Amino acid sequence: MVAAVGSNGSERTRGALGAPVVRKDAGAKILGEARYVDDLVYPGMLHGATVRTRSAGGTIERIEFGPGFDWSSFVVVTAADVPGINATQMIEQDQPVLAGERFRHAGEPVLLLAHPDAGLLREALAAVTLHERPNPSPVFSIDDALALRGEVCPGNVYRDYLMSRGDLATGEAAAEVVFEGRFETGAQEHVYIEPQGMIAQVDAAGVLVVEGSMQCPYYVLGTLTAVTGRDAGSVRVVHCTTGGGFGGKEEYPSHIAAHAALLSLKAGGRPVKLVYDRAEDMLATPKRHPSRTLVRIGARRDGRLAFMDIDFALDGGAYTTLSPVVLSRGVIHAPGPYACADARVRGRAVATNHPPNGAFRGFGAPQSIFAIEQAMDGLARELGITPLELRRINMLRPGDRSVPGQMIDDTTDFDAVVDQALRESDYIARRDACTAFNAASAAAGRPLRRGIGLSTFHHGAGFTGNGEVVLASEARVRADADGRVEVVASSSEMGQGNTTTLCQIVAEALGLPLERVTQARVDTHDVPDSGPTVASRTCMVVGLIVEQAARRLRAELIGKAGLPAAGADEHAFAAACARYLDGHPALEMQARYEPPANVAWDETVFEGSPYASYAWACYVAEVEVDLTTCEVALTAFTAVQEVGRVVNPVIAAGQVEGGVVQGIGFALFEKVVRDAQGAMANNRMTNYIIPTTADIPPVRVFFQEQPGGIGPAGAKGLGELPMDGPGPAIVSALNAALGTRIASVPVLPEDVMAALGTSSAKEAA
């Protein structure tokens, strides 16, 4: 992949904010020195394993331990061994860490085993049989759940939100052209490179220490204290090098941590390692929520949107998990970046007997954005104008109020983003070239067809609505007598680069070279809760907090240790630190998130400004389809985005490239196949198909850096944005190439063939 990185042309010094510095974690990872949880070995360590249900809900009648094993040599834990609350501490407390008599889905953990011999443990695992009385009428689809064909929980709906603006009837009366469609998106697996795992043990001081792979150490701490009945002082959560998360390590690590902890506590505090292999990880952990969206949108003849009526539903699976907040983000993003005075979005998170779905990069937005973008293409078709023209007419511009109710301020220039995307992709010329190519190809009986498509979208950064206010995140910056500085926060590096960007922000604020700043190990006995490492919030929100803490530290040194207010280099800084620490026990300054004035959100009526900052983007995809096999080749991809100040252009481009590739997988490759009990049947890398480099065209990445983000120097959130755009752009390109109306992802060659219809495919081939 080739990334062309835009520059704002300003002078940037090495190490400072905005410079493409090498990542802090690069050396250890390249050399294989980084230690992941499975690399850790302790004396006397046991290995843990999990016995899971096979049916899509039901009751457990009996647990049978087979012959041939000395079961007294195993540590065995069931729900009866939970000393505290048997539930993960998420939005609701409906999900047990170990199922007791009743369970709701296949793959639900029921019993834990531990033994020093991992091979023997593996054989023993197969000798434990759960005798299940299966739920006779499991529910596997959103439609069935809403029609109450079987009941997972009362009413089968976890949340039901309504966001409305203006008056729908007025808008419908004004509409001269209406488009109506149903759109679906599939489940998606995160495929972080490191499967999930934890090690738990009780240290000499009696503290339960749990370390492992995770995004949100304080979430894990919250579940551990509840499950064990211990207080936060006697439980310590330590972050290990984490090989990717993408949202998949937001909530599920709490389960594994609780399991490892329960085994360790029952084993007298001995270390217990519980690390999943890929198959178990894919089977047990949450997926992106499948969605179905019913869209009716109407426009006046001149193309101005008259109304939007959107019914958005997510398959939450068998427990609530994070579905309500995934849903709210999906609802808020459902109208897309378009102005419409009369609009209504209903959103429901639906209960099914699938294993619970959960957080995944984009968090509901890729699902609802896919629907509105395809609907905009459909409406353009009805209007007889191009998808680009319809977007140009309706794009949010300064002075517009979005459907949720946010005033678009004058720092936003969405047209400039779209202009650059059209220019870089040569969109108009390529569109005409595709049309000509297809005509010639069809005339000559050749099997290739080409198409180009675009998506326009925005993504709100940080927690939705009042989430950041409620979180009230806190971080610290400290320095030692040699002038070495540490960022002290719970924000977890998992490959996305936030250790480096946070250090850059602090180095900039203190006027130090980057080498002088590191991030302290994330350990809940040392670092404050800077919030979960999710929601495109770390650089923007936590960056702001550490910047504030760094400024306070500098002011403290200027005020109390004679640090020159200007022109001080690293030596002057170190000298000031030494002077300060001569008279003070520590040099550590704290800061807390202060919400900007313009962000007010009323959760009860879904109205106001749901996000402090939005990033804006236009993505263009080109495809070539071979009608012989219906295989789709992506031939070009252009990603232009406005993300406020870019803190590190290489890391930022990496986020976009990776997000685009994950979006390509979402659109064209990644299909979760379910067995008859709703469990993932293709839970192997062999059969769950993610794209390889051979499937990816050069991804051309461009940044615009308009001011206006609330983060350091105007930075906005970026991590999730690139997940939103590829799906709709690729499907638009595909429909343009083939004249089809494909309305769901993933689109596999089998789906392309079905969309073409047997006769037309035959003819074309």
Backbone angles phi, psi at 619, to 5 degrees: -115, 140
Least distance in Å: CB of 657 to other proteins? 18
Task: Tell me which residues touch other proteins (CB under 8 A).
Answer: 47, 49, 118-123, 125-126, 277, 279, 447, 627-631, 669, 673, 681-682, 684, 686-687, 689, 691-692, 694-695, 749-750, 753, 758, 761-762, 765
One-letter amino acid at 512 equals L
Instruction: Please give the Cα distance from 548 to 551 (Å, whole number).
Output: 5
Residues pairing with 513 in the sheet: none
Least distance in Å: CB of 707 to other proteins? 41
Backbone angles phi, psi at 730, to 5 degrees: -70, -45
Instruction: Please give the Cα distance from 621 to 454 (Å, whole number).
Output: 6
Largest CA distance in the chain: 86
Least distance in Å: CB of 47 to other proteins? 7
Nearer to other proteins, 602 or 750 (CB): 750
Least distance in Å: CB of 684 to other proteins? 7
Place of tokens 């040194």: 557
Instruction: Please give the Cα distance from 636 to 430 (Å, whole number).
Output: 11
Nearer to other proteins, 166 or 691 (CB): 691
Least distance in Å: CB of 40 to other proteins? 15
Nearer to other proteins, 170 or 629 (CB): 629
Nearer to other proteins, 125 or 520 (CB): 125
* Residue 195 neighbours by CB distance under 10 Å: 22
- At 506, is the secondary structure helix, strand, or coil? helix
Nearer to other proteins, 472 or 673 (CB): 673
Nearer to other proteins, 47 or 344 (CB): 47
Positive/negative CA dihedral, 249, 250, 255, 261 = positive
- At 222, is the secondary structure helix, strand, or coil? helix
Least distance in Å: CB of 199 to other proteins? 14
DSSP for 435-475, please give it.
Answer: HHHHHHHHHTT--EEEEEEEEEEEEEESSSTTHHHHH--EE
- At 176, is the secondary structure helix, strand, or coil? coil
Closest residue by Cα to residue 265 from 70, 83, 116: 83
- CA 56, chain centre distance (Å): 26
Nearer to other proteins, 536 or 683 (CB): 683
Nearer to other proteins, 91 or 127 (CB): 127
Tokens found for residue 471: 């979180």
Least distance in Å: CB of 327 to other proteins? 30
Nearer to other proteins, 125 or 581 (CB): 125
Strand order in the sheet with 102-103: 102-103, 58-65, 128-134
Least distance in Å: CB of 687 to other proteins? 5
Nearer to other proteins, 72 or 686 (CB): 686
* Residue 13 neighbours by CB distance under 10 Å: 11
Least distance in Å: CB of 48 to other proteins? 10
Least distance in Å: CB of 765 to other proteins? 5
How do beta strands 517-519 and 291-299 pair?
unpaired
Instruction: Please give the Cα distance from 224 to 232 (Å, whole number).
Output: 9
Instruction: Please give the Cα distance from 324 to 111 (Å, whole number).
Output: 29
Nearer to other proteins, 123 or 160 (CB): 123
Least distance in Å: CB of 732 to other proteins? 22
